[in-house]
């Protein structure tokens, strides 16, 4: 049985405001909880006009308070920007408030352009050379298990308690997968970012996994962009917004998430057509039955029992409808209203 979860990038649509996007995040979280989704992850993006979520650690308490059964997490915190101790403290507080429901997803990517990454850093441009040490320290502080010879062994991440968040490394290459296997954490492959080699990377993580006190067996998922609608034609029409969004993103043109009309009116250059065709290989768009068929095939290829669904469309109604149709197609068990 495949579990379905949600990754929310808090999209800012053409004609809407960032405040609208944040309100929609809370509304979608409540809906996903009712529909029976397993997790609700919040992304971290900086200085991106189309995406309004720079601080998952701030949004998570609001989402967790607005829901009852769904797990709530970061998808993910970009650890190189922050102190491992401070991140551990954020998530220790969240785990204390909502024990057993919190996921700490972390990533290596900057979640921004290089100039913004410099602005986020306390000095210079943050590197990733010390990323493994940051992961090690984060796990140690989250679980109160820093080695005795660690220079900060006596420093506690408060509030301490009997439970800890699930830790996931997120990535679109083999590097995060190798770290997740080494440190004994969950791993989620970002298929919606890179569809090349994801199945191989995820299976390699599972084979190389080293059991840890907090996770005895590998736990993996794949994150995929999905648009589900009543007809194939409607799903493909709605997915056109993403085509133009990807083109703008990859060519450095900022702006709100485009409408279908804007995407249809855009005259794509040959280079932009290549970008669109490449992006279309890492999305699924279709009827509920078709989406389920393709998602089940993807889960088999990745050897995972959980898929994290990213859906953005030109309106709240079509976005909510996509998640609802998918939940019905997979037979998710609805929960009561929060």
One DSSP character per residue, 49-106 reads TTB--S-HHHHHHHHHHH-SSSEEEES-EEGGGS-HHHHHHHHHHHHHHSTT-EEEEE
Rg (CA), the chain: 19
pLDDT at 127: 53
pLDDT one-digit tens code per residue, 8-20 = 999 999 999 999 9
CATH 3.40.50.970 is right for the domain spanning 3-224+289-329: no
The three-class DSSP label of residue 215 is strand
Among residues 150, 167, 170, the alpha carbon closest in space to that of 91 is found at 167
User: For the chain, what is the mean pLDDT?
Assistant: 94
Mean pLDDT of 45-58: 94
Kindly tell me if the per-residue pLDDT of 126 is higher than 60.
Answer: no
- List, for residues 267-312, the tens digit of each pLDDT value: 999 999 999 999 999 999 999 999 999 999 999 999 999 999 999 9
Chain segment 193-210, per-residue pLDDT in tens: 999 999 999 999 999 999
CA distance 175 to 23: 35
β 283-286/220-228 pair status? parallel
Q: Tokens representing 177?
A: 């997968």
Residue 72 has pLDDT above 80, yes or no: yes
- What DSSP state is assigned to residue 319? H
Every domain of the chain and the residues it spans: 3-224+289-329
For position 160, what pLDDT does the model report?
Answer: 96
162's CB contacts (< 8 A; 6+ apart) are none
Residue count (the chain)? 338
Note every long-range contact of 245-248, with CB atoms under 8 Å and residues 24 or more positions apart, other chains counting: 245/50, 245/312, 246/275, 246/276, 246/279, 247/272, 247/275, 247/276, 248/50
Q: State mean pLDDT over 60-66.
A: 98
DSSP secondary structure of 29-54: HHHHHHHT-SEEEE----S-TTB--S
Q: How confident is the model at residue 172 (pLDDT cuts 50, 70, 90)?
A: very high
> Looking at the predicted structure, is the pLDDT value of residue 120 above 80?
no
Determine the pLDDT at residue 124: 52
Tell me whether the omega of the peptide bond preceding residue 132 falls within 30 degrees of 0, making it cis.
Answer: no
Q: What is the pLDDT of residue 168?
A: 98
Helix (H) or strand (E) holding 190: strand 186-190
Q: What is the pLDDT of residue 285?
A: 98
C-alpha closest to that of 166 among 248, 54, 249, 72: 72
Percent of the chain with pLDDT over 70: 96
């Amino acid at each position: 049985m495949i579990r379905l979860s949600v990754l929310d990038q808090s999209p800012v649509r053409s004609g809407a405001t960032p405040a609208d996007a944040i309100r929609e995040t809370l509304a979608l979280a409540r809906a996903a909880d009712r529909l029976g989704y397993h997790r609700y992850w919040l992304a971290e993006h900086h200085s991106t006009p189309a995406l309004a979520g720079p601080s998952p650690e701030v949004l998570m308490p609001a989402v967790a308070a607005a829901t009852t059964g769904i797990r709530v997490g970061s998808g993910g915190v970009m650890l190189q920007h922050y102190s491992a101790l401070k991140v551990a403290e954020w998530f220790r507080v969240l785990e204390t408030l909502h024990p057993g429901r919190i996921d700490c997803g972390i990533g290596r990517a900057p979640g921004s352009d290089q100039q913004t990454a410099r602005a986020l850093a306390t000095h210079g441009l943050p590197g990733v050379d010390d990323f493994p040490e940051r992961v090690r320290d984060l796990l140690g502080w989250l679980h109160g298990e820093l080695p005795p010879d660690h220079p900060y062994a006596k420093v506690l991440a408060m509030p301490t308690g009997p439970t800890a968040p699930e830790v996931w490394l997120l990535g679109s290459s083999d590097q995060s997968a190798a770290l997740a296997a080494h440190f004994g954490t969950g791993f989620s492959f970002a298929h919606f970012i890179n569809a090349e080699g994801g199945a191989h990377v995820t299976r390699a993580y599972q084979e190389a996994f080293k059991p840890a006190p907090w996770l005895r067996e590998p736990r993996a998922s794949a994150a995929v962009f999905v648009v589900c609608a009543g007809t194939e034609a409607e799903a493909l029409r709605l997915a056109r917004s993403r085509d133009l969004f990807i083109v703008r993103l990859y060519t450095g043109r900022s702006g709100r998430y485009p409408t279908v009309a804007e995407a249809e009116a855009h005259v794509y250059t040959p280079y932009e057509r290549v970008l669109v065709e490449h992006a279309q290989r890492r999305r699924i768009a279709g009827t509920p039955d078709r989406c389920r068929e393709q998602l089940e095939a993807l889960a088999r290829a990745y050897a995972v029992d959980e898929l994290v669904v990213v859906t953005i469309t030109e309106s709240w109604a079509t976005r909510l409808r996509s998640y609802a149709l998918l939940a019905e197609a997979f037979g998710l068990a609805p929960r009561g209203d929060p």
